[in-house]
A and B are shown apart, each in its own frame.
Chain A
Amino acid sequence: MATNTLNLPEQEYMLPGNRACAGCSVGIVFRHMSKALDGKAIFVVPASCFTVLCGMYPTASVQVPVMNSVFPGTAACASGIAASLKKQGRDDLTVVAMAGDGGTADIGMQGLSGAAERNANVFFVCYDNEAYMNTGTQRSSLTPLGAKTTTTPAKGKMQFAKDLPAIVEAHDIPYIATASPGYPGDLYDKVCTARGISGTRFMHINAPCPPGWQFPTAETVAMAQLAVETGAFILFEIMDGKFQLTGKSLALADKDNRQPVRKFIELQSRFGVLDEETLARLQERVDERWRKAVARHRAEE
């Protein structure tokens, strides 16, 4: 049975009070991840929003061990921990490398690729808030086309976000999934699955950011759900090469009732400069990725 908010474990690994911004989705992400891991994990975190959220011992807001890595070295540092734990015979712990979109897809890409190619026993999680939010919203390679950031001030970003799961999949690792704080039960179940697999596992999590995306702090979950309902973010998992849509995305594919991307982005002021042509290009890209995902799901069902 799929997990929902009623049958989640009671145990909390996130303490009340942390340094995240109001409405931050990363708290929702970590809370459900840590429950799924039963707290039996070591987190490796580079410079990012999450390292600020965690705080520092002895005033940390999380009840799992956390270690800071250098910005480009998250996957490598996690690989080192995993190698040492193996030598110590500790197979009860999951080594989680948890980085933002910059720490994964920009400066962290080389380290992630190295770890994935070696199939290091690491669970790499990218929480993607689509820009360098911790340093004040500078563009990243996962910032969507047309989004205004502090380093794309004139017309918004000129390029599409790169397809991160596709890059990681090229490494032929045992498990890849996407997840959303809008659907925490789906997220929880995928982390449980990842925990039961050894080798490199990768999860790409959509992480709406009120100050960076510029929407009201109470709308975080609604925003995460709209990303999925419009197909701008697709929920799936790839187990040993087999691709399957999951949760809400699977339901959308069955009913064929996706919402237009406009509904998702018109609530975010970062797209305030978007013209109709750019919006059409965004919609076209979303449609194309959605068609491919549905076709692949049906072919591999």
Chain B
Amino acid sequence: MNATATTAEKRTGTPTLMQGNIALAEGAVQAGLRCYFGYPITPQNQIPEYLSARLPETGGVFVQAESELASINMVLGAAATGARVMTSSSGPGISLMQEGISFLAGDQLPCVIANIMRSGPGLGGIKPTQGDYYQATRGGGHGDYHTLVLAPANAQEMFDLTYKAFDLADTYRNPVLILADAILGQMKEPVIPEPPYPRLELDKDWALTGANNRPARNIRSMYLEGDDQEQHNYVLQEKYDRVRQEVPMWEQMDTDDADFVVVAFGTSARIASSAVRLARAEGLRVGLFRPITLFPLPEEALREMAAKVNGLLVVEMNLGQMVHDVRAILGPDKPVSFHGRPGGGVPTVREILEKIKENMV
């Protein structure tokens, strides 16, 4: 599936000026969010603050937990009942949640988790980063699992991808992570906060709803008998293979005749798109490839596009994480260079343009 880029200009409806974090929260409300559990941490506080007032209006439940450990395990409990549930956090809070996320994946429970990335490691800072790419795309916690990872690049996508995340979570019975950053969370842009399509309504025949005149259901991730645990992991793997086939989303800009392509996601991709425009103005045939899903990465589309270009530049707000996946996908014969800024540093348009010129020859 190729994504249609979802800026407000490309949607019909009345745009309103919205902060990215609020757009994300409202996207969840429109998707039928029933329960939100969260804990304060900058730069995502507008999400719980907004939902503390907004969710009760819709008959939903807002709970401020005593820690992120509590938040994610409240999500675990509420998800088991079949409700649409979510939490949000950043850096240290997402790290603290990892055991719970591993349980959610093992138990095959749908939920949405928003990580509005701040710089690290450790307590770090509150500036934007993409340093959690590995944590998000590798599972993050213990065991052999994946969460689906969606990477918005503007406020409209904060709304739209969060809306979509709940459908994906229900479809695959799996946690879905929204991976944004402090810039996307804090900035305001025009947003059309209306559902782009009706939400998916699935019969959750696995949910714990009280065994009234039917056999009791179990939700578990512990298998001690024989090779039960091994078989359970094969079931999960089969699901991830389906996800790899069905879910990839990406956006391409000026790649049709390109000799050289920049690969970037989220905030980096926004900045890179300006650099690509400047390169085009100088007569350089440069394009942009923006993965919207980070797990699964759009491998086939990337390969197909890369076959027609001489080289690629991966731009990230870290010191090189997605670049290793891109190199693994494209193989050793395709020149893939890298430019990154860590710890809250943000690459500039000029920097990227220079790197494009440096690596094009």
Q: A and B: real partners?
A: yes
- Chain A residues proximal to chain B, CB less than 8 Å: 47, 51, 68, 70-72, 102, 106-107, 109, 132, 134-136, 138-139, 141, 150-154
C-alpha spacing A151/B52, complex, angstroms:
5
Pairwise interchain contact A68-B123, C-beta atoms closer than 8 A: yes
**Residue pair A51, B123 in contact (C-beta under 8 Å):** yes
Given contacts A106-B67, A107-B66, A154-B53, contact A136 B45 (CB under 8 A): yes
Considering only CB atoms, which chain B residue lies closest to A70 in the complex?
Answer: B92
Residues of B within 8 A of A107 (CB): 39, 66-69
Nearest chain B CB to A266's CB is how many angstroms away? 25
Q: B123 touching A47 by the CB < 8 A rule?
A: yes
- Indicate whether B251 reaches chain A with its CB closer than 8 angstroms: no
Cβ distance B22 to chain A, nearest Cβ, rounded Å: 13
CA distance A187 to B123 in the complex (A): 30
The answer to whether the Cβ of B122 comes within 8 Å of any Cβ in the partner chain is yes
CB distance from B38 to the nearest CB of A (A): 8
CB <8 Å contact, B45 and A47: no
Q: How far is the CA of A89 from the CA of B95 in the complex (A)?
A: 35
A151-B48, A153-B52 known; A136 vs B67 contact (CB < 8 Å): no
Beta-carbon contact of B69 and A72 below 8 Å: yes
Check if B337 is an interface residue, CB within 8 A of chain A: no
Task: Kindly report which residue of chain B lies nearest to residue A132, judged by CB atoms.
Answer: B40
In the complex the two chains form, is B66's CB within 8 Å of A152's CB? no
Q: Which chain A residues lie closer than 8 Å to B41 at the CB level?
A: 47, 135
Other A-B contacts than A135-B41, A150-B52, A153-B53, 4 sampled, CB-CB below 8 A, are A70-B96, A107-B66, A138-B48, A141-B66
User: Is the CB–CB distance between A150 and B66 below 8 Å?
Assistant: no
Within 8 Å CB of B62, what residues of A? Answer: 151
The answer to whether A138 and B56 have CB atoms under 8 Å apart is: no
B194 contacts A by Cβ under 8 Å? no
Would you list the 10 A-B pairs with minimal beta carbon distance, nearest first? Answer: A107-B67, A106-B66, A135-B40, A138-B40, A132-B40, A151-B52, A150-B49, A153-B53, A68-B123, A151-B64
Q: List 26 A-B contacts (CB under 8 A).
A: A51-B123, A68-B123, A70-B96, A71-B67, A71-B96, A72-B67, A72-B96, A107-B39, A107-B67, A107-B69, A134-B42, A135-B40, A135-B42, A135-B45, A136-B45, A136-B49, A138-B40, A138-B48, A138-B49, A138-B64, A150-B49, A151-B49, A151-B64, A152-B52, A153-B49, A153-B53
Chain B residue contacts of A152, Cβ below 8 A: 52
The residue that A139 contacts in the complex, of B42, B53, B64, B68, with Cβ under 8 A, is B64
B230 to chain A, nearest CB (A): 34
User: What is the size, in residues, of chain B's interface with A at 8 Å between Cβ atoms?
Assistant: 20
A residues near B52, Cβ cutoff 8 Å: 150-153
A102 partner residues in chain B, CB cutoff 8 A: 40
Neighbouring A residues of B68 by C-beta, 8 Å: 107
Residue of A nearest to B122 (CB): A68
A243 CB to closest chain B CB (Å) equals: 28
Q: Output the least CB separation between B50 and chain A (Å).
A: 10
A102 CB to nearest chain B CB (Å):
7
Q: Which of B42, B56, B64 contacts A154 (CB 8 A)?
A: B56
Once bound together, how far apart are the Cα atoms of A151 and B39, in whole Å?
10
A102 to B66 alpha-carbon distance, docked (Å) = 8
Q: Contacts of B64 on A, CB cut-off 8 Å?
A: 138-139, 151
CA distance A150 to B42 in the complex (A): 13
Q: Does B66 lie within 8 Å of A109, measured CB to CB?
A: yes
Q: Which of B23-46 contact A (CB under 8 A)?
A: 39-42, 45
Shortest Cβ distance from B183 into chain A, in angstroms? 18
Residues of A within 8 A of B96 (CB): 70-72
Residues of chain A within 8 A of B92, CB atoms compared: 47, 70-71
A135 to B122, CA, bound (A): 17
**Whole-angstrom distance between the Cβ of B340 and the nearest chain A Cβ:** 23
> What distance in Å separates the Cβ of B331 from its nearest Cβ neighbour in chain A?
40
Select B45's contact among A72, A150, A154, beta carbons within 8 Å.
A150
Q: Mark B111-137, 1 if CB is under 8 A from A, else 0.
A: 000000000001100000000000000
- Min Cβ gap B74→A in Å is 14
- In the bound assembly, the distance between CA atoms of A102 and B42 in angstroms comes to 14
Kindly name the residue among A135, A136, A139, A151 whose own CB sees the greatest number of chain B CB atoms within 10 A. Answer: A151
Contacting A at CB under 8 A, from B121-168, are 122-123
Which residue of the partner chain B has the closest CB to A136?
Answer: B45
Give, as a whole number of angstroms, the nearest-CB distance from A31 to chain B: 24
Residue of A nearest to B42 (CB): A135
For A68, A106, A135, the residue with the greatest tally of chain B CB atoms inside 10 Å of its CB is A135
Bound together, the chains give a CA A51 to CA B122 distance in angstroms of 14
CB nearest neighbor in A for B56? A154
User: Does A138 lie within 8 Å of B69, measured CB to CB?
Assistant: no
Q: For A71, list chain B residues within 8 Å (CB).
A: 67, 92, 96
Q: Which residues of chain B are near A70, meaning CB under 8 Å?
A: 92, 96, 123
Provide the B322-339 mask, 1 if CB < 8 A to any CB of A, else 0.
Answer: 000000000000000000
Question: B53: which A residues are within 8 A, CB to CB?
Answer: 153-154
Determine the distance from Cα of A293 to Cα of B45 in the docked complex, in whole angstroms.
38
Q: In this complex, what residue of A is CB-closest to B64?
A: A151
A136 to B45, CA, bound (A): 8
* A139–B69 CA distance with the chains assembled, in angstroms: 17
Once the chains bind, are B67 and A138 in contact (CB under 8 Å)? no
